[in-house]
Amino acid sequence: MEERPKKLLILYATQTGNALDVAERVGREAERRGCHVHLLSIDQYDASCLAQEGTVIFVVSTTGQGDTPDPMKGFWKYLLQRNLSGQWLEGLHYAIFGLGDSGYQKFNFVAKKLDRRLLDLGATPIIQRGLGDDQHPSGYEAALDPWMISLWNMLNNINPKYFPNGPEFLIPYENFMAEPKVRIRYHDIKQVDSQFSTNSDLNHIALQIERARRVSPVKFSLDKNRPDCILKLVKNEPLTKSGSKDKEVHHFEFEYVSSAIEYEVGDVLEVLPSQNPAAIDSFILRCNLDPESFITVHPSEMENQLLDACIPIKLKTFVELTMDVASASPRRYFFEVMSMFATAEHEKERLQYFVSPEGRDDLYQYNQRERRTVLEVLEDFPSVQMPLEWLVQLVPPLKTRAFSISSSPSAHPNQVHLTVNVVSWTTPFKRSRAGLCSNWLAKLDPEQRVYVPVWFQKGSLPPPPPSLPLILIGPGTGCAPFRGFVEERAIQSLTGSTAPVMFFFGCRNEDNDFLYREFWISHSQNGGVLSEAKGGGFYVAFSRDQSQKVYVQHKIQEHGQRVWNLLREGAAVYVAGSSTKMPADVLLAFEEIISKESGLPQESAVRWLRALEKAERYHVEAWS
């Protein structure tokens, strides 16, 4: 009896889609070498079966401050069980590719700790782990390409059955091009017209979002299909000085229009943005699509009898709600597929060069560095006419944007407040770019009855009890969650005693971007919760108002003795803001204060802070 071909198991853990993109590319490159592949999200795999596997390739991303992606949390919890012996994974060969950003303190932390744990359990690495870096001039592919070359060679040495013709053998792209993973069915408008309401009622809006996201090939978690609720915008006001070139920040207030959703301070609001109607129309026109047609989208392998259960949706609505055509950059595979459909020879050659190892850096410069959108890329290659099936599969999904809630439900019972930095920047080739969600929100007029679909999520900042002393650090829009904290603590102080709160805020100029100035000052005076009389304090670092730059870490050190006293009283530290240097600089400031005030050496201060983290009294919520 002929032996079945060896299958290579690839498990990926992704938060934003990058790890899936890499896993799919590793899978395609293996299949081009004649290897059979089984690709799975790590939350679809039974961790107890790991010991029975021969070889596993892991592709894992690191999120936030060294956090594990949501789909990996159950798998990781299983691996940490104490009853697993050091020989449990003997016989398992593995390779790991991590995706991270060296701008973060815990660069590729998830890949590193997975590697250590697999070794502890007796598994054998095939090659040294690969660590992709978003900060590299060529992105994570700079590390991925050489890592894959080593992987194929070492995998072939371990078991030649993976590659019947050797790792150098390659099926040409033209012969290898897979079929799209989805099929599109078009429906007669008369058959489905009764399914749709012409009313703009909120339930209909929520239903449309749920329907579009449910049939999208992007697997949103089931609780993310339908919005938790739809909020009405009641206030949109700038917090920064009008005409300020450095920064534009807006304060938003939303009201519930149906049943209220409960949330706590420190929670996060995810907003589904609307895309520019002109961009949607241009995309549909460029792709020769009929915006008024009704479609269903389903996996290619779905049984015919199951297709009838799919409810059709208008094509234009589907594009608007699920496909990011004018803000996100397409992935590398988009260019591979485009090269198959290019009819102009010079366009085909350029696309083939882009996806070759030699063209990797140029593609990164053209695409990611310039943040070219799907629409711009398609317009740059006019001979390419991709079928809708491929577009649905490859256009980046329209994602929700997460914002720290800047209100207390106790202070504003029927409202949710947000503090949003309106994002804009210039690319290396001087193209103006703008953040999709923040710029859309900034242009909304509360007088126009605007409704916004949202989801509530737990953030990284747990709500503190009133008896817990707090040291809060929130420069810029990092102050957002702490506005809610202070509101909540002020209300708690009306009916009982509360612990002290120190808050360190930072901005560029006192006149331009001192966010919520009156609010902070009012709570720092007359025995307020931020007052020194109550054992707390409010301190501001204006980084540009003097010749020498002053940041929050300098203010923390300036008040080091009071900070140390509060830490000794059991205070919790909360840090929120930019993920670049701030969290690391703040941590270093605490290390120096602890060392100086306690007389301990620096190493002991580091251990002291690690103990604080383990006791869940040092929290960080940072964003890029």
Residue numbers in the known binding site are 14-19, 61-64, 134, 371, 401-404, 435-438, 477, 543-544, 549-553, 585, 623
Annotated binding residues for FMN: 14-19, 61-64, 134
| Phi, psi of 221, rounded to the nearest 5 degrees | -65, 150
**164 vs 84: CA distance, rounded Å:** 35
3-state helix, strand, coil in the chain (%, to 5): 40, 20, 40
E-assigned strand segments in 293-438:
294-299, 313-314, 401-404, 415-421, 424-426, 432-434
Partners of residue 314 on adjacent β-strands: 294
Letter for the amino acid at 442? A
Which positions ≥6 away from 605 have C-beta within 8 Å? Answer: 590, 591, 592, 594, 595, 598
Annotated binding residues for FAD: 371, 401-404, 435-438, 623
**525 vs 57: CA distance, rounded Å:** 58
Q: If you search the block for the tokens 């598994």, which residue do you land on?
A: 123
Q: If you search the block for the tokens 């679909």, which residue do you land on?
A: 453
**180 vs 248: CA distance, rounded Å:** 42
**5 vs 36: CA distance, rounded Å:** 7
Q: Using the 8-state DSSP alphabet, how is residue 422 labeled?
A: -
Nearest C-alpha neighbor of 510 from the set 480, 540, 487, 532: 540
Question: 296 near 184, Cβ under 8 Å?
Answer: yes
Q: Are strands 93-100 and 130-133 parallel, antiparallel or unpaired?
A: parallel
For residue 341, give Cα distances in angstroms to 119, 175, 299, 357, 380: 45, 14, 22, 21, 14
Q: At what angle do helices 141-158 and 18-32 cross, to 10 degrees?
A: 40
Question: 426 near 432, Cβ under 8 Å?
Answer: yes
Rounded to the nearest angstrom, the gap between the alpha carbon of residue 449 and the centroid of all alpha carbons in its chain is 30
**Number of C-beta neighbours around residue 439 at 10 A:** 18
How would you class 517 by CB atoms within 10 Å of its CB: exposed for 0-12, middle for 13-18, buried for 19 or more?
middle
| Phi, psi of 578, rounded to the nearest 5 degrees | -60, 140
| Phi, psi of 250, rounded to the nearest 5 degrees | -120, 150
Q: At what angle do helices 602-614 and 582-598 cross, to 10 degrees?
A: 120
Annotated binding residues for NADP(+): 477, 543-544, 549-553, 585
How would you class 332 by CB atoms within 10 Å of its CB: exposed for 0-12, middle for 13-18, buried for 19 or more?
buried
**Number of C-beta neighbours around residue 578 at 10 A:** 16
Nearest C-alpha neighbor of 487 from the set 414, 418, 419, 406: 406
